[in-house]
Structure 1
Amino acid sequence: MRVLLTGGTGTISRAVVARVLAEGHSLSVLNRGNREPLPEGVEHLVGDVRDEASLRDALGGREFDAVVQFLAFDGEDVERDLRVLAGRAGQYVLVSSCSTYLKPLPHHVVTEDSPQGNPYSAYARDKIAGEEALRAGAGDLPWTIVRPSHTYGERTIPTNFHFGNPWAAWQRVLDGKPVIVHGDGESLWTFTWNEDFAVGLVGLLGNEGALGRAVHITSDESITWNRAFRTVAGVIGAGEPDLVHVPSATLGALREDLEAALLGDKAATIVFDNTLVKSLVPAFDARTTWAEGVARAWEWMQAHPDSRRPDPAYDAFCDDVIARVRSWA
């Protein structure tokens, strides 16, 4: 297949690039050209996907069997794609988000047919608008919607919230400082290794069973946040972490972005039913556990110390909130 992918250097798209190449497909990647170089064998197209003229110029007369759009964030972005790609794509794959599912959840087990709607997160609402624009405007263009959830790779160890640098939480754990865990830490969450995700997504390309459907792709492992923090502490050699539990609503009241990150996403117990993607892509198996993924990421980060950057703003916020919480006791 001839595949077009936008982005190509982010946590998820980088893994998808590698998987597309591993399966022997022809790959073009479109981005603005201001990040890391792409692997050998990739055709690099330079353009701005949010500028219609730039997008048309970058694509020229090329046609593709599948287009994977990582950089559409609202309905307007999708409508632009549909205009530009009319008659030149065999399948349009919109990468959306599992944050679009209704909050609060009516049931903790979620399928692709679970209701959508997120009053806490503008990002999620914009992603829903993108999905709706695709369904309404695709016409004869075959499409698939893919919904990932908290996907990570070797270059980072994710956490419950951060201000641009997730390592800051783990540096606190490593230094023996207290760290904030939202709620009581017992809600269930899912972390998905990017290479596992890539198997699922690439398996949907050219897959007739995936056309006209939304498919989420996540790990089957659901763990509590307390366990997630303790697992990381063990892997990085920090011993038992000092977990300070703070209500999600309290954190959300202090910062609007935390209302979206927690009440609109990570505070809810959620278990994803991956029956659909497994039926469509028999090769898909989210086999990487949280402990295994953290160990791989920690190995990479030890070899790349510049990835472990301090975040004074995060530290100041945590110190302030923790001091207040402990004064209540």
Structure 2
Amino acid sequence: MKILLIGGTGFLGRAMVVEALARGHEVTTFNRGRSGDDVPGVEVVRGDRESAADLERLADGRSWDFVVDTSGYVPRVVGESVRALSGRAATYAFVSSVSALDGFPAKAATEETGGWPCAPDAGPGDGDYGVLKAGCERAVEQGFDGNTLIIQPGLILGPHENVARLPWWLTRIARGGRVLAPGDPAQPMQLVDAHDVAIFTLDQAERGVSDRFAVTGPAGNTTYGEWLELCRQVTGSDAEFVWMDAEFLVAQEAGAFVELPLWGGPASPEIDNFWSVPTAKAEAAGLRSRPVAETVRDTWAWLREIPEERRSFGRTTVHGMAPEKEAAILAAWDARPA
């Protein structure tokens, strides 16, 4: 089959390309060439999806069995891509997010939860990440003449991760010593490997499925403590975890999710909802999730080939806590009253 990947060089898009090539598909990628190296074996078309001329050049004389869009964040921009490619493929698969679900994570997600209110032509200032993703979904469903496949992943990890959640923890734990460990080690998590998202997406697109799916790992497929212990095991580190309660960390102004990746802060319904997205529909359609231990192992195998000083991944948002701040919080923990 012939596939067009919008994106295709970074993290999930790269996993899509690798899986598609392994299946023997002909793959074209369309991107600006800024996020990473092209995967060998693809036809590369350089261009900016915000340029009407570039989109016209991409579509001119070409057609595909399906399109996979892994890099859409603004409904108006996605809509332009959809219109340019409508009639050039049978299926348009759009990678959205569970954050697009209406009210999430303050409200628990269900298999029937719709998206946040957002117009399909909304611009970059018309909402936050999740709201705009919901608008992107509408731009695809309303603008593409053919099958539309909406994939809503949860928290994705794996090799080539460019958000640096798992890579930061692996890097920090590999250094060893006393490591600030946030919150409750028994906190359940719900993680998914990028390659499993890719496999499921391509399976559905190949079948011509027109539907929407929340795609993440099984609820409780690890805990925060187990996850950090896996990082210690694969790195061979002598790290000593110092578990601190959420209230103490809040008092020390330790930031959730970004400064301490994947720690959600004090216990709340929002945190529980984030780790309990229903996946029965996707599982019935064939979603399979590898063990979290495999994801951690594969990510470390990729990461260890990158010198530590180069592990910034080109992101403007830096995940992880500065060593000086971690040392100060550890000292404050040691000095707290008995």
Q: Deviations for 1:96-129, whole angstroms, at most 9, x for unmatched residues?
A: 112334444544xx543246559xx922222122
Write the deviation string for residues 155-193 of structure 1: whole angstroms up to 9, x where unpaired: 45x9xxx8x575443333233344444432433212222
Number of residue pairs aligned between Structure 1 and Structure 2? 313
Query: Amino acid of the residue matched to residue 128 of structure 1?
Result: A
1:149 offset after TM fit, Å?
2.1
2:240 aligns to what?
241
Shift of 1:80: 1.4
Structure 2: gaps spanning 5 or more residues: 118-126, 313-317
CA shift at 1:69, angstroms? 0.6
Matches of 1:235 and 1:83, distance apart in 2: 46
Q: TM-score scaled by structure 1? A: 0.79
Alignment of 1:92-111 (within 5 A): 92-101=92-101, 102-107=103-108, 110-111=109-110
Alignment of 1:20-169 (within 5 A): 20-34=20-34, 35-40=36-41, 42-101=42-101, 102-107=103-108, 110-114=109-113, 116=115, 122-135=128-141, 137-138=142-143, 140-155=145-160, 166-169=166-169
Q: Which runs of at least 4 in structure 1 moved beyond 6 Å after TM superposition?
A: 251-254, 263-266, 310-313
Match of 2:288 among 285, 290, 295: 285
Alpha-carbon shift at residue 72 of structure 1 (Å)? 0.7
* Deviates further, 318-327 or 222-231: 318-327
Structure 1 distance, partners of 2:297, 2:309, is 15
Distance 1:115 1:124 in 2: 12
- Cα offsets for 1:172-230 (capped at 9, x unmatched): 3233344444432433212222222221110011434x31x211222226221122112
Distance change in 2, residues 1:50/1:265 (3 Å): farther
TM superposition score normalised by structure 2: 0.77
**What pairs up with 1:179-190 in 2 under 5 angstroms?**
179-190=179-190
Counterparts in 2 of 1:207 and 1:168: CA distance versus 1, 3 Å: closer
| Range with bigger deviation, 317-326 or 95-104 | 317-326
2:213 paired residue among 181, 205, 215: 215
Alignment correspondent of 2:281: 276
User: In the aligned structure 1, how far is the partner of 2:308 from the partner of 2:257?
Assistant: 26
Residue 17 of structure 1 pairs with residue 17 of structure 2? yes
Deviation of 1:37 (Å): 2.8
Task: Give the conservation status (yes or no) of the 8 Å contact 2:160–2:302.
Answer: yes
The root-mean-square deviation of aligned C-alpha atoms, in Å, is 3.6
CA displacement 1:233-281 (0-9 Å, x = unmatched): 1221224632343538939976698499747999435234333223334
**Cα shift at 1:10:** 1.3
Per-residue deviation, residues 6-58 of structure 1 (Å, max 9, x unmatched): 11111111121122122222211111124313222x21111011222222223
1:81/1:112 CA distance change after superposition, 3 Å: farther
Runs of at least 5 residues in structure 1 that lack an aligned partner in the other structure: none
* Contact 1:183/1:245 (8 A) holds in 2: yes
Paired position in structure 2 for 1:295: 297
1:183 touches 1:267 (CA, 8 Å); kept in 2? no
Whole-angstrom distance in 2 between the partners of 1:32 and 1:47: 5
Distance 1:72 1:252, change over 3 A: farther
Amino acid across the alignment from 1:39: P
**2:89 aligned counterpart, secondary structure:** coil
My pick for the range that moved more, 63-72 or 235-244, is 235-244
Measure the CA separation in 2 of the matches of 1:147 and 1:175.
35
Measured at CA, do residues 313 and 245 of structure 1 come closer, stay the same or move farther in structure 2, by a change above 3 Å?
A: closer
Q: What is the distance in 2 between the residues matched to 1:258 and 1:115?
A: 27
